[in-house]
A and B are shown apart, each in its own frame.
Chain A
Amino acid sequence: MAIKFETKPGIVAYLTAGDPDLATTRDIALAAIDNGADVIELGVPFSDPLADGPVIQRASERAVARGIRLTDVLGLMKELRAARPSAGLVLFSYLNPVVRMGMEKFCAAAAEAGADGVLLTDMIVEEAGEYLESMRAHKLAPIFLAAPTSPDARLKAIAANSQGFVYAISRVGITGTQQKVAGDASELVARLRQFTKLPIAVGFGISNAEHVKAVGEFADAAIIGSALVALIEKTPAEEAAAAVGQFVAGLRV
Chain B
Amino acid sequence: MSAATVVNPVTGVAGRFGAYGGRYVPETLMAALEELEAAYAVADADPAFHAELDGLLHHYCGRPTPLYFAKRLSEQLGGAKIYLKREDLLHTGAHKINNALGQGLLARRMGKQRIIAETGAGQHGVATATVCALFGMDCVIYMGDEDMRRQELNVYRMRLLGAEVRGVSGGSATLKDAISEAMRDWVTNVRTSYYILGSALGAHPYPTMVRNFHRVIGKEARLQVLEQEGKLPAAIVACVGGGSNAIGAFYEFLPDANVQLIGVEAGGRGTALGEHAARFQKLGGGVPGVLQGTYSYVLQDDAGQISSTHSVSAGLDYASVGPEHAMLHDSGRATYVSCSDADALQATVTLARTEGILPALESAHAVAEAIRLAPTMAKTDVLMVNLSGRGDKDMGILARELNLKGALAHGD
Contact = CB atoms under 8 A, between A and B. Distances in A.
Interface stretch (A91-99, A109-117, A222-230): A91-99
Contacts of A130: 10
Interface residues of A, number: 44
B59 to A, nearest CB: 38
Interface stretch (A63-71, A76-84, A211-219, A243-251): A63-71
Contacts, number: 126
Nearest to A54: B170
A49 B180 CA distance: 8
A97 B291 CA distance: 10
A99 B11 contact: no
A129 B191 contact: no
Contact of A172 (B12, B191, B289): B191
Main secondary structure of the interface of B (DSSP, over half): mixed
B300 interface: yes
Contact of B26 (A53, A57, A122): A122
Given A122-B25, A149-B190, A172-B190, A96 B290 contact: yes
Contacts of A129: 8, 10-11
B27 A145 contact: yes
A154 B35 CA distance: 13
B161 interface: no
A146 B26 CA distance: 9
Contacts of B8: 127, 129
B290 A122 contact: yes
A151 B170 CA distance: 33
Contact of B31 (A47, A61, A150): A150
B302 A122 contact: no
A23 interface: no
Contacts of B18: none
A145 B306 CA distance: 24
B304 A154 contact: no
A165 interface: no
A37 interface: no
Interface in B97-148: none
Interface in B13-44: 13, 22-32
Contacts of A101: 304
A144 B27 CA distance: 9
Nearest to A71: B303
Interface string A144-159: 1111111100100010
A99 B290 contact: yes
Nearest to A50: B180
A121 interface: yes
A205 B102 CA distance: 37
B145 to A, nearest CB: 15
B27 A124 contact: yes
Contact of A97 (B10, B13, B305): B305
Contacts of A69: 303, 305
A1 interface: no
A174 interface: yes
A99 B171 contact: no
B71 interface: no
Contacts of B170: 57, 61
A172 B187 CA distance: 6
A124 B204 CA distance: 13
17 contacts: A46-B304, A51-B26, A96-B290, A96-B298, A98-B304, A124-B24, A126-B12, A126-B13, A127-B22, A129-B10, A145-B26, A149-B31, A154-B27, A158-B27, A169-B28, A173-B188, A174-B187
Interface of B: 8, 10-13, 22-32, 170-171, 176-177, 179-180, 183-184, 187-191, 287-293, 295, 298, 300, 302-306
Interface of A: 46-51, 53, 57, 61, 64, 69-71, 94-101, 121-124, 126-130, 144-151, 154, 158, 169, 172-174
Given A49-B180, A100-B302, A173-B188, 4 more contacts: A51-B184, A96-B290, A100-B300, A126-B13
